[in-house]
Amino acid sequence: MAEKQLTENCTPQETCTTEKQKGNKLFQTVSLILLPFFWIGYFYSLYRGNQSNISSYSIAILTLSLLNADVLFKGEKTQNKVFDVLAKVECILLFVLGIITIILTMVK
């Protein structure tokens, strides 16, 4: 009901910021939940030595991390504390990914 009233109040020329904020919050939530699974796949591929999967996972991790830069790097608060802690852990893991990439490049 409230969403219907909210969309009726918006004119076609101006954008409804609350709808965009809902979309951004939903995207942040989904991507923050997906990132640990990409990390698990990345470290498993690293353990198994599968170079093509390592490359694919690192690109997916980097893309989602850059899309969530506000939450990961700027410290913007998310919906609850669990996502805040998850974002901090994923930021640390992204830093570790950079170091691992540098080390693997130097070893080769």
The least confident of 51-55, 58-62, 79-83 is 79-83
How would DSSP label each residue in 41-98?
A: HHHHHHHHT-HHHHHHHHHHHHHHHHHTHHHHTS----SSHHHHHHHHHHHHHHHHHH
Q: pTM to 2 decimals?
A: 0.69
Length of the chain: 108
pLDDT at position 44 is: 92
More confident residue, 64 or 7: 64
